[in-house]
Amino acid sequence: MTTTTDLVSYEDALAAYDPVMGLEVHVELGTKTKMFCGCSTALGADPNSQTCPVCLGLPGALPVVNATGVESAIKIGLALNCEIAEWCRFARKNYFYPDMPKNFQTSQYDEPIAFNGYLDVQLEDGETFRVEIERAHMEEDTGKSTHVGGATGRIHGASHSLLDYNRAGIPLIEIVTKPIVGAGERAPEVAKAYVRELREVIRALGVSEARMEMGQMRCDVNLSLMPKGADKFGTRSETKNVNSLRSVERAARYEIMRHAAVLSGGGTIVQETRHFHEDTGSTTSGRVKEEAEDYRYFPEPDLVPVAPSREWVEEIRAALPELPLARRTRLLAEWGISATDMQAILNAGALDLIVATIDAGADAAAARKWWMGELARSANESGTALDELAITPRQVARVTELVAKGDLNDKLARQVIEGVLAGEGTPDEVVDKRGLKVVSDEGALTAAVEEAIAGNPAIADKIRGGKVAAAGALVGAVMKATRGQADAARVKELILDKLGVTEG
């Protein structure tokens, strides 16, 4: 299919229309077992080795809800400031598609376990935007299809498909926002910030690793435009399975430009599912959306209602960890850094590493300095993520400790880190093997200082005459003589002392 799609520029689109978004995020829970049966959820198993009569939908099989799945759903609901249902049911969402052997997905329909919440998200410049949450409900994942015989593994043109049901039944929480209005030109940015914040919340709760590249978190972007000043929403398109933060932003942006072109050309938007293409950043038409009633939802007769007691809910609430936004706000204040600095730390994926380094005994400023400086540079050069570097927060803390004690100066510390990253051992082992220690032997230092003074009489005279700044040249000479292994501050003290000058 090679039809070209008309687009108008992003600026022109926003000059004429206001975007309205709805984001649906599916999170695969990290439970050990599936939502309704005891089959393992471990990744990478042999095809169809983690199935049973329940998740294969064999006659007579009876599902039983995973208690941890329900608890995780409540945790997510509470973290998103939702109300938790006192009583709710599962429902069958009926459809025929081979990814679900039961011919229905067990989901929740008009009685979600959590509803009416919000999540505050921060944009890159530190501005906060509140995204209202409609609901979070429990359901199950589908099996994995492999399409055979088509051009590029696509369903179109495939001769047949192969199904692995290991994933069928893995607990999913679907989180749906209320319509996001008023974001204007920042709508795509808000979408990205929302999904990122949600991912951080999910991780902080420990209910899922929420790795988008692994499909553990997937986003559908609903988008419509309405003429500026209007209050009636336009027809929406739903872009499915957008699987990276960057793609969320690009998909929203693309759909804004596409809708604007259709609408300003006098056309109408078709309510349909669209697919996002990572390579081109564009979307193409999928199937025309079935009406909601076509799923013929009805209460799941095989599962009894879930009625979380208020005691249980409060127990879960009391045990919630500090949530990411609150934590960032606290750390920002504690460290006395700007929103921009914090954003840089987040973008580098350094926050947890810095906190772990501080927890291991490092000074906050030193921990930030090493992770955002030397280590960020090293990760950048080798094209790896910071947390994949071959150095632990504990080891970084040890390096900062050695610097604080005066055993290492910054230059030597960099060499120690280089050694650890190169696999030469722990910081202490690298210090020993490479012989990297600040010369703290006062006798040796004093000798080097005297030698430097004797070798540079003109400079020494200047210093005696009160030009303290000239001491730098002598410090340099001493550092050179000790191959950088001296504490520069101590060297300066010794020089001034010898020449009978006091600083300041």
Partner 1 sequence: MPGITREEVAHLARLARLELKPEELDHFAGQLDDIIGAVARVSEVADQDVPPTSHPLPLTNVMRPDEVRPSLTPEQALSGAPAQEQQRFKVPQILGEE
Integer-rounded Cα Rg, in Å, for the chain is: 30
> At its nearest, how many Å lie between partner 1 and the CB of residue 297?
12
141 binds partner 1 (CB under 8 A): no
Specify the residue, 49 or 384, whose C-beta has the smaller distance to partner 1: 49
Binding test (CB under 8 A) with partner 1, winner from 44, 229, 265, 301: 301
> At its nearest, how many Å lie between partner 1 and the CB of residue 1?
5
299 binds partner 1 (CB under 8 A): yes
Q: How many residues bind partner 1 (CB under 8 A)?
A: 58
The residue assigned the tokens 């492999």 is 146
381 binds partner 1 (CB under 8 A): no
String of contacts with partner 1 for each residue 68-87, x by CB under 8 A: xxx----------------x
The interface region with partner 1, picked from 95-103, 243-251, 338-346, 420-428 by CB under 8 A, is 95-103
The residue assigned the tokens 């954003």 is 343
> At its nearest, how many Å lie between partner 1 and the CB of residue 151?
10
Binding test (CB under 8 A) with partner 1, winner from 10, 24, 47, 484: 47
Q: Which of 76, 108, 116, 276 has the alpha carbon at shortest distance from 188?
A: 276
Query: Which CB contacts under 8 angstroms, 24+ apart, belong to 247-251?
Result: 247/276, 247/278, 248/23, 248/188, 248/191, 248/192, 248/195, 248/219, 248/221, 249/188, 249/189, 249/191, 249/192, 250/188, 250/276, 250/281, 251/221, 251/276, 251/283
For residue 271, the Cα-to-chain-centroid distance in whole angstroms is 31
Specify the residue, 65 or 123, whose C-beta has the smaller distance to partner 1: 65
The interface region with partner 1, picked from 18-26, 64-72, 132-140, 262-270 by CB under 8 A, is 64-72
Cα 431 from Cα 425, distance rounded (Å): 10
Q: Which of 114, 119, 276 has the alpha carbon at shortest distance from 194?
A: 119
Cβ–Cβ under 8 Å, residues 289 and 33: no
Q: DSSP labels for 230-257?
A: --S----EEEEEE-SHHHHHHHHHHHHH
Binding test (CB under 8 A) with partner 1, winner from 53, 153, 227, 373: 53
Cβ–Cβ under 8 Å, residues 67 and 75: no
Cβ–Cβ under 8 Å, residues 480 and 486: no
> At its nearest, how many Å lie between partner 1 and the CB of residue 241?
17
> At its nearest, how many Å lie between partner 1 and the CB of residue 311?
12
> At its nearest, how many Å lie between partner 1 and the CB of residue 109?
11
Half-sphere exposure of 210 (CA within 13 A, CB side): 22
Binding test (CB under 8 A) with partner 1, winner from 19, 23, 25, 66: 66
Specify the residue, 275 or 498, whose C-beta has the smaller distance to partner 1: 275
Binding test (CB under 8 A) with partner 1, winner from 230, 292, 304, 390: 304
52 binds partner 1 (CB under 8 A): yes
Four-residue CA torsion sign, 355, 359, 364, 370:
negative
Cα 501 from Cα 483, distance rounded (Å): 26
In 361-441, alpha helices (H): 364-370, 376-382, 393-404, 410-421, 427-434
The interface region with partner 1, picked from 47-55, 240-248, 340-348, 382-390 by CB under 8 A, is 47-55
String of contacts with partner 1 for each residue 144-173, x by CB under 8 A: -xxxx------xxxxxxxxxxx--------
> At its nearest, how many Å lie between partner 1 and the CB of residue 33?
5
Binding test (CB under 8 A) with partner 1, winner from 125, 127, 294, 314: 294
Residues at the interface with partner 1 (CB under 8 A): 1, 31-33, 37-40, 46-53, 56, 58, 64-70, 87, 89, 94, 96-98, 101, 145-148, 155-165, 294, 296, 298-299, 301, 303-308
